[in-house]
């Protein structure tokens, strides 16, 4: 049932590799190409009614993937922070999955666990913490990292909760995040038992950065009614427009309030990896914990996030449980640090990519993506589009001031659809907290080039002229 002879396996590997190579082709359509009937047939073909030849099943899967999704690895995908997987990450993912190391405890997989520990320390160091106190864990992504950080914050600020649960909360625990912060913050607060009422949404300035005086006021009001500021979340790179909250000032406010400071740098944290961009995230080192997503920023397949912290004892306070059957280690074991128990080798593809490129090579790739973002902004401006915000990150939010309805949802959706249909670029319309809308394009692919960016602008100009 689970295995084939070697010749069959080799043939399957070869076919799979050729499908992977085909997936790199820039000539593919950007959106779904399968009609409803074909899609249904491919899905139904996998329902196991009858046993099938493995080569046939493989072709079904490959056709479904090639035609049944937005092609996030396409060099003209300027969409929602999905990075194109780098080749080294793909190859090592496959290798690692075959060995299937169990990273719950170090004793079971010392190589894979130590590789992850070093990565966590290295990233912590790059964000500005002393190497020795940098720790954390790999997560499925930013949403899980934020949930882990919320649990750590509650454990840190309300130590009695570990025993007493919500009934032991002292005061009224409050979470603060900007109106442009990610919705996973409110969700983490809600499923941690703090409820929607436990979240204060802080207004933003014209650049979509958290207004620090408003944060200070909200915290002051909460304290004067006896509530307990527990978690302040600052964002480095809001999803809609790449805004960076004023980290140092927020850190001062959080510190004075005795709250845990979490920085959501899911994508924007890439600025810390490019030396001349690092100043944009100065102050991030004052965070107790940081979300960073290698699957958004560094060309690692989905399912690779990180929660970094300089307070690993808070992870232990939130997550540690004894298990009689687990081998005992000296350090805090990976299973005792977060939500997952059994753990996949998420760090190995990332380590292989960094080892192949070198940190300097990583910076070079990110630098090129940043330069492409600048080019996109400049070309859009030249073409008469209006950039809504400035950011050092390669994301642009823009409208069309040459028309009265140039910031209207229907018009902007039309432009996005035209660019996708043209094969010129997958972009989308985003809606800000104030209700305004903008087209949003973002560079996350190491294969995108100037010609790709220029094609998008040309197509948008054409679509605008057509609808004039
Ligand atoms: C994408 C994103 C998240 C959620 O991360 P996932 O990896 O999708 O779970 C959180 N915060 C920000 C700022 C993001 O851009």
Q: pLDDT tens digit string along 65-78? A: 999 999 999 999 99
Antiparallel, parallel or unpaired: β 173-178 and 428-431: unpaired
Residue 143 CB–ligand 1 contact under 6 Å:
yes
Q: What is the mean pLDDT of residues 330-359?
A: 93
Residue 245 CB–ligand 1 contact under 6 Å:
no
Taking the CA of residue 265 as reference, the ligand 1 atom at the shortest distance is: 13
For 10, 14, 54, 213, the CA distances from 7, given in Å and listed in that order, are 5, 11, 12, 68
Q: How far is the CA of 181 from the centre of ligand 1 (A)?
A: 10
Taking the CA of residue 181 as reference, the ligand 1 atom at the shortest distance is: 13
Antiparallel, parallel or unpaired: β 395-399 and 437-442: antiparallel
CA distance 384 to 156: 51
Q: How far is the CA of 204 from the centre of ligand 1 (A)?
A: 19
Residue 305 CB–ligand 1 contact under 6 Å:
yes
Task: For residue range 83-133, list pLDDT tens digits in order.
Answer: 899 999 999 999 999 999 999 999 999 999 999 999 999 999 999 999 999
Asked if 119 and 351 touch (Cβ cutoff 8 Å), the reply is yes
Least confident range of 98-112, 283-297, 311-325: 311-325
Pocket test for ligand 1, best of 83, 239, 298 (most atoms within 8 A of CB): 239
Antiparallel, parallel or unpaired: β 173-178 and 199-202: parallel
Inform me whether the pLDDT recorded for 428 exceeds 70: yes
Mean pLDDT of the chain: 95
Residue 445 CB–ligand 1 contact under 6 Å:
no
Inform me whether the pLDDT recorded for 299 exceeds 80: yes
Please name the residue ranges forming H helices in 100-178: 110-126, 142-157, 161-164
Asked if 337 and 329 touch (Cβ cutoff 8 Å), the reply is no
**How would residue 330 be classed by pLDDT, with cut points 50, 70 and 90?**
low
Asked if 371 and 132 touch (Cβ cutoff 8 Å), the reply is no
Token representation of residue 303:
């399912």
Residue 141 CB–ligand 1 contact under 6 Å:
yes
Q: How far is the CA of 186 from the centre of ligand 1 (A)?
A: 13
**How would residue 59 be classed by pLDDT, with cut points 50, 70 and 90?**
very high
Tokens 């397949």, residue located: 301
Higher-confidence residue of 149 and 80: namely 149
Taking the CA of residue 145 as reference, the ligand 1 atom at the shortest distance is: 9
Q: What would you report as the CA-atom Rg of the chain, rounded to the nearest whole angstrom?
A: 23
Q: What is the mean pLDDT of residues 145-151?
A: 98
Q: How far is the CA of 190 from the centre of ligand 1 (A)?
A: 17
For 160, 174, 452, the CA distances from 195, given in Å and listed in that order, are 19, 10, 44
Q: How far is the CA of 14 from the centre of ligand 1 (A)?
A: 35
User: E strand or H helix at 440, and its extent?
Assistant: strand 437-442
Q: What is the mean pLDDT of residues 364-388?
A: 98
Q: Which of 468, 464, 380, 456 is nearest to 419 (CA)?
A: 456
Residue 266 CB–ligand 1 contact under 6 Å:
yes
Inform me whether the pLDDT recorded for 318 exceeds 90: yes
Q: What is the mean pLDDT of residues 443-447?
A: 94
Whole-structure pTM value: 0.96
**How would residue 329 be classed by pLDDT, with cut points 50, 70 and 90?**
low
Residue 440 CB–ligand 1 contact under 6 Å:
no
Ligand 1 atom 15: residue of nearest CA:
239
Taking the CA of residue 144 as reference, the ligand 1 atom at the shortest distance is: 9
What is the percent of the chain where pLDDT is above 90?
A: 90
Least confident range of 34-43, 140-149, 317-326, 382-391: 317-326
Inform me whether the pLDDT recorded for 328 exceeds 70: no
Q: What is the mean pLDDT of residues 391-416?
A: 97
Instruction: Say what the pLDDT of residue 138 is.
Output: 97
Ligand 1 atom 5: residue of nearest CA:
142
Residue 264 CB–ligand 1 contact under 6 Å:
yes
Q: What is the DSSP letter of 68?
A: S
Q: How far is the CA of 302 from the centre of ligand 1 (A)?
A: 12
Token representation of residue 98:
């075959």
Residue 81 CB–ligand 1 contact under 6 Å:
yes
Taking the CA of residue 305 as reference, the ligand 1 atom at the shortest distance is: 7
Inform me whether the pLDDT recorded for 323 exceeds 80: no
Inform me whether the pLDDT recorded for 55 exceeds 80: yes
Task: For residue range 205-227, list pLDDT tens digits in order.
Answer: 999 999 999 999 999 999 999 99
Task: For residue range 1-19, list pLDDT tens digits in order.
Answer: 678 999 999 999 999 999 9
């Amino acid at each position: 049932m689970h295995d084939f002879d070697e010749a069959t396996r080799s043939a399957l590997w070869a076919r799979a590799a050729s499908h992977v190579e085909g997936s790199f082709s820039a000539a593919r359509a950007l959106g779904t190409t399968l009609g409803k009937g074909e899609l249904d047939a491919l899905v139904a073909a996998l329902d196991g009614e009858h046993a099938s030849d493995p080569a046939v099943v493989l072709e079904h899967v490959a056709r479904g993937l090639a035609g049944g999704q937005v092609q996030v690895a396409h060099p003209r995908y300027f969409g929602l922070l999905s990075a194109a997987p780098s080749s080294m990450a793909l190859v090592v993912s496959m290798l690692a999955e075959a060995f299937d190391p169990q990273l719950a405890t170090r004793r079971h997989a010392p190589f894979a666990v130590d590789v992850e520990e070093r990565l966590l320390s290295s990233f912590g160091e790059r964000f500005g913490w002393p190497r020795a106190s940098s720790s954390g864990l790999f997560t499925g992504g930013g949403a899980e990292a934020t949930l882990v950080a919320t649990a750590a914050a509650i454990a840190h600020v309300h130590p009695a909760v570990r025993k007493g649960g919500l009934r032991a909360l002292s005061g009224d625990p409050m979470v603060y995040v900007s109106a442009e912060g990610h919705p996973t913050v409110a969700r983490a607060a809600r499923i941690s038992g703090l409820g929607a009422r436990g979240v204060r949404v802080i207004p933003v300035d014209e650049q979509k950065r958290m207004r620090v005086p408003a944060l200070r006021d909200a915290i002051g009001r909460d304290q004067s009614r006896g509530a307990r500021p527990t978690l302040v979340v600052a964002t480095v790179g809001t999803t809609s427009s790449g805004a960076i909250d004023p980290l140092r000032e927020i850190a001062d406010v959080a510190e004075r309030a005795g709250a845990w400071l979490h920085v959501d740098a899911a994508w924007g944290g890439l600025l810390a990896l490019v030396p001349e961009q690092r100043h944009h995230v100065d102050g991030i080192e004052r965070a107790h914990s940081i979300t960073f997503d290698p699957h958004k920023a560094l060309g690692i397949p989905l399912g690779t996030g990180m929660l970094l912290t300089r307070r690993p004892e808070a992870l232990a306070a939130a997550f540690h449980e004894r298990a009689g059957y687990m081998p005992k280690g000296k350090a805090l074991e990976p299973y005792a640090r977060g939500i997952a128990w059994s753990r996949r080798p998420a760090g190995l593809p990332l380590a292989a990519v960094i080892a192949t490129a070198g940190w300097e090579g990583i910076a070079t790739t990110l630098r090129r993506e940043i330069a492409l973002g600048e080019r996109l902004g400049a070309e859009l401006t030249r073409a008469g589009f209006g950039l809504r915000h400035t950011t050092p990150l390669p994301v642009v939010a823009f409208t069309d001031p040459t028309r009265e309805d140039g910031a209207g949802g229907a018009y902007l959706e039309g432009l996005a659809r035209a660019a996708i249909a043209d094969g010129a670029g997958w972009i989308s319309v985003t809606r800000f907290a104030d209700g305004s809308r903008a087209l949003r394009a973002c560079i996350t692919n190491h294969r995108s080039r100037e010609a790709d960016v220029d094609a998008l602008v040309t197509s948008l100009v054409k679509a605008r002229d057509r609808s004039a």
